[in-house]
Amino acid sequence: MKEFENERIIDFKSPEDKTKMEQALDKVKSGLGKEYSLIIGGKKVKTDDVFKSMNPSNKDEVVGVISKGTEKEALEAIDIATETFKTWKFVPFEKRAEYLFKAAEIIRQRRYELDAILVYEVGKNWMEADGDVAEAIDFLEFYAREAIEYGKGQPLTKIPTEKSGLWYIPLGVGVVIPPWNFPMSILCGMTSAAFVSGNTVILKPSSDSPVTGAKFMEILEEVGLPDGVVNFLPGPGSKVGDTLVGSPKTRFIAFTGSKEVGLHIVELAGKTAPGQIWIKRVVAEMGGKDCIVVDNEANINNAAIGVNASAFGYQGQKCSACSRAIVVSDIYDEFLDKLVKETETLSIGPAKDNYPIGPVINEWATDSILNYIEIGKKEGRLLCGGIPQSCGMGRHSQDGCATTDNGYYIKPTIIADVDRNARIAQEEIFGPVLAVIKARDFDDALEIANCTQYGLTGAVYTKNREKIDKAKRVFHCGNLYINRKCTGALVGVHPFGGFNMSGTDSKAGGKDYLLLFTQAKAISERI
């Protein structure tokens, strides 16, 4: 087994890669609208109530029709997972890791198809989609290797009278609730980490990306994962999600999503249900209000490029996205000029046509983001965005490039001169809106960086070594980057997870991650 290496991301510049992607898009489009069932104990379950997954680039295009789970199916899935756990927990780590290696290889074989599904279902351009799929491969390869290491146990101090060992054993039945914005990688990462550790899983995908989840289930079936190890249960969080989280048979919940939903899960999981014999574990990543600090000793051109990419990549719909640029006053105006010029080069249009800026995920998100733009126009100075733009996609609202005819498009928006305590500087917008804040000096910039309830990612641009060292000590976030953008964490390179209201600092893609899905058992035998 060779050492772990990150999967290369396709840049689609070569004619061969471009042709393969275009063929995949055509093939996937011909199969849009297919029906997808629940999967409980390996059996496909259709329900009378269904919902549709829609293409955010074209809201009239149905990506898939999905059976909607209820409390009944949730309880059935928990019972099946509980029964399956009785045998799955004794399967050796090495054997469980084999399923991950096989799944990684199948994803490589189906890579362009999976890229195309993400383009249609969540509006990612080609490179963003492929980055998502490549990260799923990375999670599988990385966690498989880590599982083999965990299977060796932990070395202990020896004494002459006893033989001792510490072994990692699974927790039990878990609920995995992934987000829509990384519907392949995060779904795959959380689910595979859970079951490679010996747990059984009920997977509840986001209602905005259930087809991607169904494709992942196809891959698990193809690798021969035993029935009942992973059960697929799309459905509303208020019913299915709460039933799964609140069950006394549920041992842990792995969640990625909004702060509000995450705190609800933490609260519900903290209540001891009748018959419950354990304290439930919650692994949560809940977003952020991330920022990039631009010092007066920075390379301003590089900083403008990094802020632009971090703020508007995938329409700002990343928990790691830069939504605050904190700029030292000496270079404030020069930086703004370069940033606006960089941002105005971005064109907007359908994800399938590989525009730099595609749609936001749905109508609710569109309304929320446009509302924040209106708030921001009162809290700062609008530099770009926030005005009608013709992208040839239908009717536009009065403010913002938003269309409710064929898709949900919002032009990248920059609002300058924002107070550090303003709403758009404190609340997570999750869209292409950047607040720019002026700092007196570098120390003031670090204070502003830390003055939110979040602490996920951040970046600092400066050439000054003393300032870099201070930022490493003072900047309170889970992932800090120096002289580069604050998005684009790589598995094994940048273990990912944040502080405060950004979650439980889970460090996905790191060597500690499987600890969250296991418990340690120490055994000593008298010699």
pLDDT tens digits, one per residue of 256-296: 999 999 999 999 999 999 999 999 999 999 999 999 999 99
In this structure, the answer to whether residues 237 and 336 fall within a common structural domain is no
223 and 75 part of one domain: yes
Catalytic residue among 113, 121, 128, 285: 285
Cα separation, 10 vs 123, in Å, equals 18
Q: ∠ at Cα 302 (299, 306), nearest 5°? A: 135
What confidence score (pLDDT) does residue 403 get? 44
In which residue ranges of the chain is pLDDT below 70?
A: 387-405
Q: pLDDT per residue over 509-526, tens digit each? A: 999 999 999 999 999 999
Backbone φ and ψ for 45, nearest 5 degrees, come out as -120, 120
Residues 67 and 152 in one domain: yes
CATH of the domain at 379: 3.40.309.10
472 and 512, same structural domain? no
Strands 518-526 and 162-170: antiparallel
Termini Cα distance of the chain? 36
Same domain as 472, residue 513: no
3-state secondary structure of 256: strand
Within 10 Å of residue 524's Cβ, how many Cβ atoms? Answer: 13
Q: Are 324 and 457 in the same domain?
A: yes
Kindly report the CATH number assigned to the domain that includes residue 150: 3.40.605.10
- Return the DSSP state at 381: E
Identify whether 484 is part of a domain.
yes
- Say if residue 412 is in the same domain as residue 273: no
Residue 511 falls within a domain, yes or no? yes
Cα–Cα distance measured from residue 466 to residue 454, given in angstroms and rounded to the nearest whole number: 25
Q: Does residue 378 share a domain with residue 279?
A: no
Q: Domain of 204?
A: 26-286+506-526
Residues 279 and 299 in one domain: no
Which residues are registered as beta bridge partners of 154? 166
Whether residue 501 lies inside any domain: the answer is: no
* Dihedral angle of Cα 230, 236, 242, 245, to the nearest 10 degrees: 20
pTM: 0.96
Q: How many CB atoms lie within 10 A of CB 384?
A: 18
Q: Does the residue 179 lie in any domain?
A: yes
Write down the residue that tokens 């079951």 correspond to: 195
Which residue, 136, 251, 122, 132, is CA-closest to 198? 251
Helix axes 126-150, 185-196, angle to 10 degrees: 10
The confidence score (pLDDT) of residue 405 equals 58
17 within domain boundaries: no
Domain count, the chain: 2
- Residue 6 CA, chain-centre distance (Å), reads 18
Q: Which two tokens stand for residue 487?
A: 């998005």
Residue 515 and residue 458 share a domain: no
Q: Are residues 131 and 59 in the same domain?
A: yes
Residues 316 and 202 in one domain: no
At residue 402, the pLDDT reads 47
Nearest-angstrom CA–CA distance, 226 and 88: 9
Q: Catalytic one among 319, 322, 391, 477? A: 319
Residue 73 a catalytic site member:
no
Q: In this structure, what are the phi and psi dihedrals at residue 168, rounded to the nearest 5 degrees? A: -95, 120
* Rounded CA separation 384/433 (Å): 10
Residue 91 belongs to a domain: yes
Whether 497 is covered by a domain: the verdict is no
Q: Residue 319 catalytic?
A: yes
Query: 151 lies in a domain?
Result: yes
